[in-house]
Structure 1
Amino acid sequence: MQIKLITVGKLKEKYLKDGIAEYSKRLSRFAKTEIIELADEKTPDKASAAQNKQILRKEGQRIQEKIGSRDYVIVLAIEGKQLASEDFAQKMSEITLSGYSNITFIIGGSLGLDEAIKQRANFKMSFGLLTLPHQLMRLVLVEQIYRAYMIQQGSPYHK
C-alpha cells in the first residue's frame, strides 16, 4: 500500500514536523508514505472572489500534476463526510479490498481546494466544522491514518 499526502504550503513549525515524522515512521510498517508539499500562491490582502478563484485554480493545477491516474483520492473538505475513527478504518480497508494500492489524501491551502480537485476526488472527508490550520491538519490526518491501521489490527492503541 502507498499513502500519499499532497499538501499546499510549507510546514515551518518544528513541533508539527516532529509529530508528522513520528507518525510517518509508525505508518511505515503498514504502508509506504510520501508527503508532497506544494507551494501556495500568495493571496493579496482583501483579495476579490475572482482573485481567490484564480489562486485556487493555480494551486489545483499543481495538485493535479501529482495525482496518479489510478490513485484513490480523498480530499479534506468542510463539506465532506465526517467519519468516526472506526468508520475511517473501515473505509481504508474497503479501498484496499476494492483493488487500489495507492491512496492519495489532499489538504488544500488557506483558501481550500479548487472545484476541479474536489470533482476528481473519489471521497470527500471532513474532520468537522472547526476551522484548523492546514499545517496542523497534516499532523491530525497522519495520526488518523496510523490509527486506522491500528484499529484494523485490533491494537489497544485506539482505546
Structure 2
Amino acid sequence: MNVNIICVGKLKEKYLKEAESEYLKRISRFAKVKIIELNDEKLTGNSSLDILAKNKEGENIINKIPKNSYIFAMDIKGKQSTSIDFAKELNDLSISGKSDFTFIIGGSLGLSEEVLKRANKKMSFSLMTFPHQLFRVMLLEQIYRCFKINNNETYHK
C-alpha cells in the first residue's frame, strides 16, 4: 500500500519533525509513505490576492497527486468519523482494490475549490482549526492507528 501526504508548508519545529519521523517509522511496517511538501504562497491580507495564492497552492497540489490515487482532502467542512470508522473505510477501500491513497493538507487558507472537487472524500478531524504542521503529525498518528486497528494489534484505546 502507498500513502502519500501532500502538504503546504514545511515542518520547522524539531519536536514536530521528531514526531513525524517516529510515525513514519511505525507506519513503514504496513505501507510505503511519501511526504510531499509544497511551498506556501505569501499572504497579503488582501482577500482577492489571497484567493489567487490559495488557487496557486491548489495548482501545485493537483500537479503532485499520483495517478489512480484515492484522494482524501482535509477540510474543516468535511465528514468527521471515529478512528474505527476511518480504519474500516481504509480497509474496505483496500479490499475493493485501492492501494494508493493521497491525503492533502492545505495551507493557512485551506484548499482551493479545484482540489476539493478532485477529492474522493473531504475529511475533517474537528470543527476546530489546527496549525497545519501539527495536523500533519495528527494525521500520521491516525493513519498508524488505522493500521493497528485493521491488523488487530494493541494500540487503539
TM-score between the two structures when normalised by the length of structure 2: 0.98
- Could you tell me which residue of structure 1 aligns to residue 106 of structure 2? 108
Confirm whether residue 127 of structure 1 aligns to residue 125 of structure 2.
yes
Report the AA paired with residue 77 of structure 1.
D
Displacement of 1:6: 0.1
Give, in whole Å, the separation in 2 of the partners of 1:99 and 1:120. Answer: 20
Give, in whole Å, the separation in 2 of the partners of 1:151 and 1:12. Answer: 31
Alignment root-mean-square deviation, CA: 0.7
- Could you tell me which residue of structure 2 aligns to residue 153 of structure 1? 151
Identity score, percent: 52
Confirm whether residue 72 of structure 1 aligns to residue 70 of structure 2.
yes
Structure 2 SS opposite 1:54: helix
Structure 1 residue runs of 5 or longer lacking an equivalent are none
**Which runs of structure 2 are paired with 1:33-72 in the superposition (5 Å)?**
33-44=33-44, 46-48=45-47, 50-72=48-70
Confirm whether residue 118 of structure 1 aligns to residue 106 of structure 2.
no
TM-score between the two structures when normalised by the length of structure 1: 0.96
Report the AA paired with residue 100 of structure 2.
N
CA offsets, 1:84-139, max 9 Å, x none? 00000001111111211110000000000000000000011000101100000000
CA offsets, 1:10-41, max 9 Å, x none? 11011001001100000001000000000000
Displacement of 1:53: 1.4
Structure 2 SS opposite 1:157: coil
Give, in whole Å, the separation in 1 of the partners of 2:46 and 2:88. Answer: 41
Structure 2 SS opposite 1:158: coil
Displacement of 1:63: 0.3
Structure 2 residue runs of 5 or longer lacking an equivalent are none
Structure 2 SS opposite 1:156: coil
Runs (4+) off by over 6 Å? none
Displacement of 1:69: 2.3
Report the AA paired with residue 110 of structure 1.
S
Structure 1 SS opposite 2:155: helix
Report the AA paired with residue 83 of structure 1.
S
